[in-house]
C-alpha cells in the first residue's frame, strides 16, 4: 500500500478530533493532559495539539479532558465529525503561570464562614469578558490578559488594571447555588500576584449595581516571590452603601490571612 493510500485509509477510520486550549491564552494547555472517552478505557492518540479517536461505531461520545493544572472539561462528540473541536480549559490555582503575569488569587467564603466550592466567576479586562471557576475548596485565580496600555492606569508610581467600576475598581460576578453576587476589587497591581479573601454577605445592595455585593477585604498582595505591594485593605462597601456610615479605615476590623 502506498503512503497516499495509507493516509486515505486513516482519514476514513477517523471518528473525531479535539483540541484542548487554555481559555485565557487560546494556546495549548501547560503540562500534560489526558483525553479519554467517558465510561471506557479508550484514550486519544495525540498529534501535536490535537487528540483523535478512530474506528468508533456511529453515535455520540463524551470526551473528557483531565489535567493536574486545569479543571476537568468534557464535550459530546459525534463519530464521523471531520473538523477539530476546541475544548476550553480553565486553569486551577496551582497552574504554573509565567512570571510577571497579572493575577488575583484567593478564596470565596460564604456568609456562614465556609468555603464556597465550584463558584463561577466572571470579570473584564478591557473589552474582554473572562471567566473562571473556584475549586472544591473555594480557591480561585483570576487572570488579567491581555493587558494593553489602554487597560492600565498609573497611581502613586505604580501600575494597576483599569477598572470597569471606576479608575481602579474591577467588578467580579460570582455565581453559586443559583445565586448571583458581585464584589469589587480595588487596585489590581499589574505584573503581580494579588491575594484576597472574598466574604459574601446576605445584605441587599442599594445602588446601581444589580443583585447583591460581597463584603471583600484585602489581605495582602505581592509577587509570588514574597514582595509586598501597597494594595490597601478594602472597605466594607455594603455597610457604607446601606447605612451611609463611615467605612472602616485600613487596619480596622478583622483580617484573616489565606492559608
Question: What is the chain's pLDDT, residue by residue, as a tens digit (259 residues)?
Answer: 454 444 444 555 899 999 999 998 889 999 999 999 998 889 999 999 999 999 999 899 999 999 999 999 999 999 987 789 999 999 999 999 988 999 999 999 988 888 999 999 999 888 888 899 999 999 999 999 878 889 999 988 899 999 888 789 999 999 988 888 888 888 999 999 999 888 877 654 333 333 334 444 333 333 333 322 222 323 332 333 233 333 333 344 333 333 3
Write the CB contacts of 154 (distance below 8 Å, at least 6 apart in sequence).
160
Asked if residue 251 is part of any domain, the answer here is: no
Whole-angstrom distance, CA of residue 200 vs CA of residue 110: 5
Query: What local confidence, expressed as pLDDT, does residue 203 receive?
Result: 57
Kindly write down the DSSP assignment for every residue of 6-58, as one continuous string: HHHHHHHHEEEEEEEEETTTSSPPSS--EEEETTS--BPEEETTEEEEESPPS
Q: What is the pTM of this model?
A: 0.68
| Residue 134 shares a structural domain with residue 182 | yes
**84 phi and psi, to 5 degrees?**
-70, 145
| Residue 120 shares a structural domain with residue 227 | yes
- Structural domain for 219, as ranges: 103-243
The tally of domains found in the chain comes to 2
3-state secondary structure of 2: coil
Query: What local confidence, expressed as pLDDT, does residue 12 receive?
Result: 56
| Residue that terminates a domain, selected from 59, 89, 119 | 89
| Residue 83 shares a structural domain with residue 114 | no
Asked if residue 97 is part of any domain, the answer here is: no
Kindly write down the DSSP assignment for every residue of 167-205, as one continuous string: SSEEEEEEEETTEEEEEEEE--BTTSEEEEEEE---SBP
| Residue 125 shares a structural domain with residue 218 | yes
Amino acid at each position: 500500500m502506498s503512503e497516499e493510500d495509507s493516509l486515505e485509509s486513516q482519514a476514513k477510520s477517523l471518528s473525531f478530533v479535539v483540541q484542548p486550549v487554555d481559555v485565557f491564552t487560546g494556546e495549548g494547555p501547560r503540562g500534560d493532559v489526558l483525553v479519554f472517552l467517558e465510561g471506557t478505557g479508550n484514550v486519544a492518540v495525540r498529534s501535536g495539539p490535537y487528540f483523535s479517536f478512530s474506528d468508533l461505531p456511529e453515535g455520540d461520545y463524551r470526551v473528557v479532558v483531565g489535567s493536574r493544572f486545569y479543571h476537568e472539561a468534557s464535550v459530546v462528540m459525534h463519530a464521523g465529525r471531520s473538523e477539530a473541536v476546541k475544548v476550553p480549559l480553565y486553569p486551577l490555582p496551582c497552574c504554573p503561570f509565567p512570571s510577571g503575569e497579572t493575577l488575583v488569587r484567593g478564596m470565596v467564603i460564604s456568609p456562614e464562614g465556609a468555603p464556597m466550592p465550584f463558584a463561577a466567576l466572571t470579570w473584564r479586562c478591557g473589552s474582554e469578558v473572562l471567566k473562571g471557576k473556584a475549586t472544591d475548596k473555594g480557591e480561585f485565580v483570576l487572570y488579567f490578559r491581555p493587558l494593553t496600555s489602554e487597560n492600565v492606569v498609573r497611581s502613586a508610581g505604580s501600575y494597576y488594571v483599569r477598572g470597569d467600576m471606576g479608575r481602579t475598581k474591577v467588578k467580579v460576578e460570582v455565581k453559586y447555588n443559583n445565586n448571583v453576587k458581585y464584589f469589587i476589587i480595588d487596585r489590581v497591581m499589574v505584573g503581580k500576584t494579588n491575594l484576597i479573601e472574598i466574604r459574601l454577605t446576605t445584605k441587599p445592595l442599594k445602588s446601581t449595581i444589580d443583585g447583591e455585593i460581597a463584603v471583600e477585604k484585602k489581605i495582602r498582595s505581592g509577587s509570588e516571590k514574597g514582595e509586598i505591594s501597597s494594595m490597601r485593605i478594602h472597605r466594607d462597601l455594603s455597610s457604607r452603601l446601606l447605612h451611609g456610615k463611615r467605612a472602616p479605615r485600613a487596619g480596622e476590623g478583622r483580617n484573616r490571612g489565606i492559608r
